[in-house]
Amino acid sequence: MEKFAQIDYIIFLVYFVVVAGYGYWIYRKKSNVSASSKDYFLAEGSLTWWAIGASLIASNISAEQFIGMSGNGFTVGIAVAAYEWIAALALIIVAVWFIPVYLKNKIFTMPQFLNNRYNETTSLIMAVFWLFLYIFVNLTSILFLGALAINNLAGGGSFHAIVLALSVFAIIITLGGMRVIGFTDVIQVLVLIIGGVATTYVALTLVSEHFGLGKDVLAGFSQLMKDSPEHFKMIIEKPTASSSQEEINKYLMLPGLGMYLAGIWIVNLNYWGCNQYITQRALGADLKTARTGILFAGFLKLFMPVIVMLPGIAAYVLYKNGALQQEMAPGGHFNPDNAYSAILGFLPDGMKGLSLAALTAAIVASLAGKANSIATIFTMDIYKKYIKKDASERNLVNVGKTTVIVAIAASILFTWDDMLGIGGEGGFTFIQKYTGFISPGVLAMFLLGMFWKRTTGAAAIIGLIMGFALSVVFNNYAPAWFGNDTLLYTAYPNGRGGYEIPFQICMGLSFFFTVIAMIAVSLAGPKINPKAFVLDTKMFKVEPSVMVMIVLTLLLVSALYVRFW
């Protein structure tokens, strides 16, 4: 790839100055406000609905989406958009039913929820688990993938310098607290969307030109659908005896209708509703603002496949028809994870700088959001509870800032020589591997804890352990132990000499049996657990403006599925 032109450097510099300058202005504007822990960690009462929505998206979209989802677009096509479009529906559930419970009970952190509803043991176990997960899996993988993507875009040779630069930029943003993160994320998401749309525009134009249709974006999109109609079907058909390994692999990744009854809901409800990293943005707002912000994020999610998936499909069609041959791996195959960078290589001067800014915005926003969540959990759920119970508000804020620096320093250490092997395993796979096993148990704990007053602390611990254990069994051992075709599942050859149950089906089965176990344990306890939350049906009523957003989202999702079923 050619090096950046002067205009690219100028565009990137303008982006950096605008984000850093705006963040500093926000910080100074509120510097006269008392430095309370709630203000620092939650920006209590400060974030507007559009800032909450933009921050949710900026924190969610990072290098693993640009690279991983583009790669999945190359491999399976539009079916991977289910992650984004079902997320929009999951956000409706979170906005209407989850957030009122959190706000009414003044929940500050997710471990606090578990402590208030269950017991201190469950809270401490999950606080420690989330800290390790956020630092050694999420923060490290975001930094590694981000630096790798930018390094590839820049032409290589500066990976370690990029790691340090991204880390310093993220620290600058994070030390200003959630208010600075929230409002700078508005700029970050604008840059992310503009840069992403520009890349998609170039991708579709390349397709149009390759087929002799001129520089016509709509013609390019029509050609994609005409050339590879199988890449524009949301539901992947169940394999048969005559299916190729390639077709089976697609089904293992996205198991047709089955995933809509199982894993995709667990992934999304756990991520958007039980995740400190995400919920933190809304916990400092009033109910209407929080709901509107969350639904605004859901609305934006509907358009994310355009910028993170469509370039991958374009790369597939171009490669299939003789282009992008220079991107082939040594073995003569195209690595799907290179789909996005392959398209970026064709960007003209100026647009490369914009794409660099978009990637940086996605990475820095995710790093800052994750680091702030790490600081919040450590400070409020470990330091204040177990180390210094009488800590002052200023002390808590300072501990939070120190935690940010330590967490990012740790991620630099593990990223430097890829100590965790993220590069060999693939960043998207790496994250899914270490978070997916715990999701069924966590979601079961939260759902039953919120909406069934009989759920006990013992049931929560059983659910946590059983959810993890069942995930391991179904993913790694069930086919060998129980056979490849049972009433519960069908396992398919994975091309590596073994058989696998689709991962999302495994999650659904784990969740189902975990919920049954938790209910059985809870039935042995009191009819109403003393720590159960008091729910009022008025909590779940929505205002007309919120209902309009919900209906609009439902109509758009329905239209997309009708069109691409």
pLDDT at 429 over 70: no
Q: What is the pLDDT of residues 172-183, one digit of tens each?
A: 888 877 777 777
Interior angle at CA 115, CA 110 and CA 116, nearest 5: 95
Q: Average pLDDT in the 408-426 region?
A: 76
Q: State the average pLDDT for the chain.
A: 85
Angle at 488 between CA 81 and CA 243, to 5 degrees: 55
Which pLDDT score, from 0 to 100, does residue 1 have? 42
CA-CA distance, 541 to 539, in Å (whole number)?
6
CATH number of the domain where residue 72 is located? 1.20.1730.10
CA atoms of 29 and 23, how far apart (whole Å): 10
Rg (C-alpha) for the chain, rounded Å, is 23
121 domain residue, yes or no: yes
Does the structure show a pLDDT above 80 at 487?
yes
CA–CA distance, 110 with 116 (Å, rounded to integer):
10
Query: Has residue 424 got a pLDDT over 60?
Result: no
How many CB atoms are located within 10 Å of the residue 420 CB? Answer: 17
| Secondary structure (DSSP) of 373-441 | HHHHHIIIIIIIIII-TT--HHHHHHHHHHHHHHHHHHHHHHHHTTTT-HHHH-HHHHHHHHHHTTHHH
Q: In this predicted model, which residue has the larger pLDDT, 489 or 35?
A: 489
- 441: in domain: no
- Give the mean pLDDT of 413-417: 84
Domain span at residue 245 reads 6-436+535-564
Predicted pLDDT of residue 433: 63
**pLDDT, tens digit, for every residue of 68-94?**
788 888 888 888 888 899 999 999 999
Q: Evaluate the CA torsion angle 59, 129, 87, 451 in order and state its sign.
A: negative
73 in any annotated domain = yes
Q: What SS3 string covers 269-304?
A: HHHHHCCHHHHCCCCCCCHHHHHHHHHHHHHHHCCH
Q: Give the per-residue pLDDT at 325.
A: 61
In the block, tokens 């740790």 appear at 410
Nearest Cα to Cα of residue 370 among 131, 185, 95: 131
In a domain, 389, yes or no: yes
Q: Which residue has the higher pLDDT, 154 or 49?
A: 49
Is residue 386 a part of any domain in this protein?
A: yes
Three-state SS for 413-428 is: HHHHCCCCCHHHHCHH
Q: Is residue 443 part of a domain?
A: no
Establish if 444 belongs to a structural domain.
no
Q: What is the pLDDT of residues 110-124, one digit of tens each?
A: 989 999 999 998 899
Q: At what angle do helices 49-60 and 178-210 cross, to 10 degrees?
A: 60
State mean pLDDT over 332-354: 78
Q: Give whichever of 17-31, 354-368, 388-402, 541-555 has the largest mean pLDDT.
A: 541-555
- pLDDT > 90 in the chain, percent: 27
Query: What pLDDT score was predicted for residue 427?
Result: 55
Q: Which residues contact 76 (CB under 8 A, 6 or more apart)?
A: 231, 236, 250, 253, 254
* Backbone φ and ψ of 381, nearest 5°: -105, -15
| pLDDT for residue 187 is more than 60 | yes
Q: If pLDDT is split at 50, 70 and 90, which confidence band does 156 have?
A: low
- pLDDT given for residue 329 in this prediction: 53
Residue 18 and residue 173 in contact, taking contact as beta carbons nearer than 8 Å: no
pLDDT (average), residues 152-165: 79
Q: Answer yes or no: is pLDDT of 106 > 80.
A: yes
460 pLDDT above the threshold of 90: yes
Better pLDDT: 269 or 366: 269
Q: What is the pTM of this model?
A: 0.86
Number of domains in the chain: 1
Is 50 exceeded by the pLDDT of residue 364? yes
Residue 499 pairs in a beta bridge with 493
Alpha-carbon distances, residue 201 vs 19, 49, 191, 308, 441 (angstroms): 25, 29, 15, 12, 42
User: Which one of 122-126, 340-344, 358-362 scores highest in mean pLDDT?
Assistant: 122-126
Q: Is residue 325 part of a domain?
A: yes
- pLDDT at residue 292 in the model: 94
What is the model's pLDDT at position 326? 61
